A and B are shown apart, each in its own frame.
Chain A
Amino acid sequence: MAFGREPAIIVSMSDKGVKPPYKRGRPASPKSLSAAKRDALWLASIANKQDARALSDLFTIYGPKLKGWLMARGVGNGTAEDIVQDVMIKVWTKAASFDPAKASFATWVYRMTRNRWIDHQRKHGRMDVRDPELMKIIADDEVPSAEANFMAQQNSDILQEQIARLTPTQQKAIRMAYMEFKTHKEIAAETGLPLGTVKTRIRSAIQALKANMAKHVSHMK
């Protein structure tokens, strides 16, 4: 089966397009901005003052979430904590290279955790790694950030709001795509939906979200 290659079957779904982003609910909360700012300040403090307290504050917040993300993927308790600790060390040593203009700390630390997890699978999966040097790292953290302008504005809370504005079906699709460690095929088997429908749903939910975000950002300018 081609990886996402079959013709996109347009299937009837309860999604009736994208909801207008600003009809109801709160305006973008300033709280969100402060979470990102707070993280950036902690990062700066780690980079400039070797502030271990700031690191511990960051991981008091993010540690349990990252551990939860890993364990939802079937990683055992001990291994999950090992991975989180590796990431924590990385944040400590690489704090100076964190650029809040490129991505939020949440995104940065998520990416590191995900890459560590992939790395872990590479080492412990069936794959025969030839050279221990290879184990060093996968893409690691510095995925080149050619983010468009609006990416800099992106932060978790604005996204959360935009997600909350999607239809329930779209929200469910996004949750399936990111929260559950299942392939599209497994999701299809579980929900009884054709594979094409699963893909279309996830894709259209992401598109809707992108459109909302773009509107939101142009709104802010």
Chain B
Amino acid sequence: MTQKTSHNVVMDEDIITDYAAGKLSPAKHIMVACQSEISDAVAQRIAFQEGLAASMLEQGTSEPLSPLFMGNALAALPQQTHNHPPAAPAPSGGLAPQSLRHMLGHGLKDMQWKSMVPGVAVHDVLGNRHTKDGDRLYLLKAKGGMKMPQHSHNGEEWTLILTGSYTTGDTRYARGDLHIEDETETHAPHIDEGEDCICLVMTQGPLKMQGWLPKMVQRVVGI
């Protein structure tokens, strides 16, 4: 099943709700945060639901702070940095969302890519692609024109496109699109000609490659 995921339209309201409520896993949370930086439409939908979540605090149970809390907290306050205007804005024109830049400590230009096969390189952001469980977050760079091996997933695969674009089936995914697939789907993304395609990818469990060569490669490189 493919679905057009133009970021201005599609992102499921459920995901936004879970994001606002703090129910997404850390890796997914980061992905949505990154997407909201690229897409104003997504940012607006999130802002609404965050306001809502915040106002629900009123109805939640309060837990009294322990008697010493306030005194200790006030005593531990650091020196205020004086009236700085809001922190320096992100270098404009940067392609890495601020949330990602924070995690990496730099932008996409200064990445240390690990080459996997010719034309494809990765950089781990969170977690380990070799472990068997848990969400993993990594950047993937593929050369324009490449055809990625046919694969499906053991869990969900979320892909946020940062540069370039790719096509799978008859859907084209470009910057800001968040492409979500689950274990029932098999696909072979075709990187569009031209620019390198850099994506932030979250996977759960190892991908299931079709065909012996990709399987072999996977064994070696451990996607």
Contact = CB atoms under 8 A, between A and B. Distances in A.
Given A65-B57, A66-B57, A129-B126, A177 B12 contact: no
Contacts of B102: 136-140
A123 to B, nearest CB: 9
A147 B47 contact: yes
Contacts of B43: 143-147
Nearest to B133: A126
B46 A5 contact: no
Contact of A88 (B47, B73, B128): B73
Given A80-B63, A128-B131, A178-B17, 10 more contacts: A77-B63, A89-B77, A92-B78, A93-B81, A111-B50, A127-B135, A130-B128, A144-B37, A178-B52, A178-B56
28 contacts: A5-B12, A5-B180, A59-B70, A64-B62, A67-B62, A67-B64, A68-B60, A73-B22, A81-B66, A81-B69, A95-B80, A106-B54, A129-B127, A130-B128, A134-B125, A137-B102, A138-B30, A138-B99, A144-B43, A146-B40, A147-B43, A157-B55, A175-B56, A177-B21, A178-B20, A178-B21, A181-B22, A184-B18
Interface in A92-149: 92-93, 95-97, 99, 103-104, 106-107, 109-111, 114-115, 117-119, 121-122, 125-130, 133-134, 136-140, 142-148
A179 to B, nearest CB: 6
B50 A110 contact: yes
Interface size class of A (residues with CB under 8 A): 35 or more
Which secondary structure dominates chain A's binding surface? helix
B93 interface: no
B86 A56 contact: no
Contact of B47 (A2, A136, A145): A145
Nearest to B46: A143
Interface string B41-76: 001101111111111111111111110011011101
Interface size class of B (residues with CB under 8 A): 35 or more
Contacts of A213: 48
Nearest to B24: A118
Interface of A: 1-5, 47-48, 50, 52, 55-56, 59-60, 62-69, 71-73, 77, 80-81, 84-85, 88-89, 92-93, 95-97, 99, 103-104, 106-107, 109-111, 114-115, 117-119, 121-122, 125-130, 133-134, 136-140, 142-148, 151, 154-157, 159-160, 163, 174-175, 177-179, 181-184, 199, 202-203, 206, 209-210, 213
A122 B55 CA distance: 26
Contacts of B105: 133
A68 to B, nearest CB: 4
Contacts of B3: 5
A203 B25 CA distance: 20
B87 interface: yes
B56 A127 contact: no
Contact of B26 (A67, A111, A138, A144): A138
A52 B77 contact: yes
Contacts of B34: 139
Contacts of A96: 83-86
B53 A178 contact: yes
B1 interface: yes
Q: Which of B57, B83, B128 has the most CB of A within 10 A?
A: B57
Contacts of A1: 182
A89 B51 contact: no
A115 B29 CA distance: 9
A139 B64 contact: no
B134 interface: yes
B20 A2 contact: no
B214 to A, nearest CB: 24
B87 to A, nearest CB: 7
